[in-house]
């Protein structure tokens, strides 16, 4: 079993009117934020994998960075998964009231069965 957490990186918008030194400082802060997000995600998935291991499962922790749906589907293919289990956050527009947009899109696009848990 592979426990995957996808971190959507902080992206710095184009700022052509901002002085170069300030752009560099903002980019550095975004890099630091991304490193912090990845570290927190790593702690999360490692804790989940440890919990699964205590229950007798062989589990591996993986952190991916990028667009969540694309990264999850890439992980499904790379791991040759039989099923994709996702948590439903219920965040987003009214049309995504019951499922998050990533969970809803995974139902439509995943090449394997999808189990959504709340």
Which string of DSSP letters, residue by residue, matches 51-80?
HHHHTT---EEEEEES-HHHHHHHHHHHHT
Which phi and psi (to 5°) does residue 92 adopt? Answer: 120, -165
Which numeric CATH code is attached to 67-118?
A: 3.40.50.620
Q: What is the pLDDT along the chain (118 residues), one digit of tens a residue?
A: 999 999 999 888 888 888 989 989 999 999 999 999 999 999 999 999 999 999 999 999 999 999 999 999 999 999 999 999 998 765 555 545 555 688 889 999 999 999 988 8
CB 101 within 8 A of CB 88: no
Q: What does the domain layout of the chain look like in residue ranges?
A: 1-65, 67-118
């Amino acid at each position: 079993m592979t426990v995957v957490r996808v971190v959507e990186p902080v992206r710095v918008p184009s700022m052509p009117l901002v002085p170069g030194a300030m752009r560099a400082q903002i980019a550095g802060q975004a890099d630091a934020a991304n490193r912090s997000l990845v570290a927190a995600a790593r702690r999360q998935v490692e804790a989940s994998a440890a919990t699964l291991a205590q229950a007798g499962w062989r589990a591996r922790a993986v952190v991916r960075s990028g667009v969540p749906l694309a990264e999850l589907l890439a992980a499904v293919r790379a791991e040759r998964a039989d099923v994709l289990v996702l948590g439903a956050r219920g965040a987003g527009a009214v049309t995504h009231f019951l499922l998050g947009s990533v969970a809803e899109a995974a139902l439509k696009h995943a090449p394997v069965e999808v189990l959504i848990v709340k």
